[in-house]
Amino acid sequence: MSSSRQHNGKGAKTRLMSEMKELDKEKWVNIDVVNDNILRWRVGLIVVNPESAFNGGYFKAEMTFTDEYPYEPPTFRFLIPIYHPNIYPDGKLCISILHTPGEDIMSGEQASERWTPLQGVESVLRSVLLLLDDPEINSPANVDAGVMFRDDRFAYNKRAAEIVEKSKKDVPEGFIMPTTLVDAPPPKVVDDDAAFWDESDEELDFGGSDTGDDEDMADFDEDGEDEDGASEDEESPA
């Protein structure tokens, strides 16, 4: 084992604690550790997407990690039955990001699609949410669900809505389910100085005219003659 992977999984635990701290700031996931074991997470994955068939769902799942994390991927398994083309009956997923690093000639998966140490828990969870919203039906884990999604979207959405309602029973007491992931904008701050000068500009009117030369020109008609009929070009008598 290389030096970066030794110390009995200390590196894995340190990284996981850091990742959990960051995920605690997110609205769409609720995480607890199982029996104070940082290598075993209980996850509440929340779908906040009006266009998703599973919108409003609170889906309990479990993630487990080894001392080799992040060099080896975690496992992910839903703890409630979800009727979905890419979810097996036992709750496990058919998703590339959870597969061990490297290319797989048999499946045709590229290394970039599979797990790498640069990935993290957030990458996995976001990938799962995307999969819930947009199933991959070309290689389904649940063939019946794949066929229903393809041929009878109304029935599929109805089935998904029923699962969403059942999932809400798992929302922890006191936990507030988000309805949007966008924070409300802060209240607009009024600039008192700017408001003062805006009002002053409206009130300061000194009665001046931008056409002050009009009175001077009033003595001349259009032909350049004054009221007495004298032209500007005519010389005054000596």
> Which residues are catalytic, by number?
94
Total residue count of the chain as it appears in this document = 238
Residue type, 211: T
Q: Where are the beta strands (DSSP E) in the chain?
A: 29-34, 37-46, 58-64, 75-78
Residue that is written with structure tokens 């998966």 in the block: 109
Torsion 77-78-83-84 (CA) sign: negative
In the numeric block, the tokens 């798992």 are attached to 170
Q: Tell me whether residue 82 is exposed, middle or buried, using C-beta atoms within 10 angstroms of its C-beta: 0 to 12, 13 to 18, 19 or more.
A: buried
CA atoms within 13 A on the CB side of 117: 9
Are the C-beta atoms of residues 15 and 70 closer than 8 Å to each other? yes
